[in-house]
Amino acid sequence: MTDVSLPITILFIDPLPSNSPDIIISLNNSITFNVNSKGKVQGIINFPINKFNLLTIRNSDDENAKFGNYGYIFNSIKYAKLVYNENMEIYSIEELVELPKIYFRYTQTMFQMLDYNNDLQHSQLKEWDFLTSSLNSLDLSVFKKIITATSPINAIYVDTHMISNQDQELLKPENVTKDVYSNNSEVVSLNLTNINFKSKEAIRKGYEMEDFMDSANYLRTIISNKKTFNLLQETALSFILGFSMANYSCFMQWHRLLELIFKCNDKVEVIEYLQKCNAIDETNLNYKKNYLAQFYDLIFRQWNLLDWEYKVYFINVSKWGFFLQKIEFSAVNMEIYDDDDDDNNNEARDLMIFKIKKQLESLQKEDEEDPFKDENKKATVEEILSEKEEEENFDKEDVLNIYDTNNEDNENYVELYGSSEDEFEPAVVSNITYKKTNILDIKK
């Protein structure tokens, strides 16, 4: 055999035991394939390094799926392998450093490797690069501060059941029992920004109605407390983890972050912050410094990535109706169009506004006519969080009562979210049950 050069990066995949159901693996939502005991696919080559990568793994047999979706975030691994743990029934990732062994294994399996840069994946790769461009500059240590899981040294474990600290607090009053879902007793915590539109940080005394209508002051407060991880990066990460892991808590955070930005009536402040974040690669997208248009295009692409089942289960229709109103207002006032912008881009935005509006109408109708609603069935964590998300919405009467010391509801707000004098401390989740089910079949 002639000399073989090693690819830039390699991820070897050990075959499954003969009695195991097939596993579906996806890298960066761009290359997806089945792994089984026959070992037809031996790995992936030429995936990016020094960029945000997300490996998603799920069992093709949903009845036997203990973890739902799970996977690993990594950005600096050059050579690694996936090793199947039969006791845990889960793949773990291990970094490889011994070049002779790497070279030997590659020469034995090179014709059973999938090339990440295959032209067939070009459109998916471009879409992934757009959605994650703001995350590429972050060191893995930043993600490890956000995602508290027992993980390999150069990767971070993530799964369907991750839950943010804020949502852990929301679940505490429910006193649901915890299922260790077999061998893995760890529930991964997410240290995401605590966004509570009912808090005294969001609603200042003497400015109740102003802050109820406009989140500008609250946005400034949150921005001032952000250090290495800006809001657009958190928005991107929340969406990516929500979408790839089918994680309800991440989708809730995605909605909160969008609401925080959309509810800010100071458009100049929003644009200046978007510019400061510099979250999108302008040279690649050929933008004319219209940061608001960039942000809306990011939202449009996130919407497009969700299939209908995800939209039915994860989209908050009332909040998206509000988001769309703000987008339409910007369109009517020509805030997201440039004279020197490509007419095709302007037309595409108009079509997306129309598409989202029609889909929201269908989602609302489907929710009202849902024949699968069962008031007596045991609620899952996702369904409890969905109810809590609706409780986060509040009206003018709630605002006026926030500083009423005799108001029992205000006492509940303080107990649940903490007062403005206390720091929000991470909570340790306990007594939670995760229903073992395919999240997309929840309504069946």
Q: Work out the average pLDDT over 315-332.
A: 89
pLDDT at 303 exceeding the cut of 60: yes
pLDDT at 162 exceeding the cut of 50: yes
pLDDT at 353 exceeding the cut of 50: yes
Nearest to 9 by CA among 96, 87, 109: 96
pLDDT tens string 23-57: 999 999 989 999 987 878 999 999 999 999 999 99
pLDDT at res. 252: 94
pLDDT at res. 363: 92
**Domain at 164-441: CATH architecture:** Alpha Horseshoe (1.25)
pLDDT at res. 41: 92
pLDDT at res. 225: 85
Assigned token pair, 67: 């973890």
Strand order in the sheet with 163-164: 147-148, 189-190, 163-164
233 Cβ neighbours under 8 A, 6+ residues apart: 134, 135, 138, 277, 279
Q: Which residue has the tokens 């070049």?
A: 99
pLDDT at 256 exceeding the cut of 90: yes
pLDDT at 427 exceeding the cut of 60: no
More confident residue, 140 or 410: 140
Q: What is the DSSP string of 300-321?
A: HHHHHHS-HHHHHHH--HHHHH
Q: What is the mean pLDDT of the chain?
A: 78
More confident residue, 65 or 81: 81
pLDDT at res. 126: 87
Please report which confidence band the pLDDT of residue 443 belongs to, taking 50, 70 and 90 as the band edges: very low
pLDDT at res. 220: 93
Please report which confidence band the pLDDT of residue 362 belongs to, taking 50, 70 and 90 as the band edges: very high
Q: How many Å apart are CA 327 and CA 333, to the nearest integer? A: 10
Please report which confidence band the pLDDT of residue 67 belongs to, taking 50, 70 and 90 as the band edges: low
Backbone dihedral angles phi then psi of residue 365, each to the nearest 5 degrees: -65, -40
Name the most confidently modeled range: 280-284, 357-361, 394-398: 357-361
CA distances from 430 to 173, 336, 417 (A): 11, 46, 17
Q: How many Å apart are CA 172 and CA 170, to the nearest integer? A: 6
pLDDT at res. 146: 92
Domain ranges of the chain: 10-108+117-135, 164-441
pLDDT at res. 350: 85
pLDDT at 263 exceeding the cut of 90: yes
pLDDT at res. 370: 58
Length of the chain (residues):
444
Strands 53-59 and 43-45, sheet pairing: unpaired
pLDDT at res. 181: 33
pLDDT at res. 291: 82
More confident residue, 394 or 347: 347
pLDDT at res. 357: 92
pLDDT at 7 exceeding the cut of 60: yes
Please report which confidence band the pLDDT of residue 405 belongs to, taking 50, 70 and 90 as the band edges: low
CATH (residue range 10-108+117-135): 2.60.34.20
pLDDT at res. 389: 58
**SS3 (DSSP) at 32:** strand
More confident residue, 97 or 292: 97
Please report which confidence band the pLDDT of residue 387 belongs to, taking 50, 70 and 90 as the band edges: low
pLDDT at 113 exceeding the cut of 70: yes
Q: Work out the average pLDDT over 342-348.
A: 70
pLDDT tens string 164-205: 988 887 776 444 434 333 334 467 889 999 999 989 899 998
More confident residue, 343 or 173: 343
* 165, 383 Cβ separation under 8 angstroms: no
Assigned token pair, 21: 């159901």
Please report which confidence band the pLDDT of residue 234 belongs to, taking 50, 70 and 90 as the band edges: very high
* 101, 271 Cβ separation under 8 angstroms: no
Of 64-68, 96-100, 198-202, 220-224, which range is least confident?
64-68
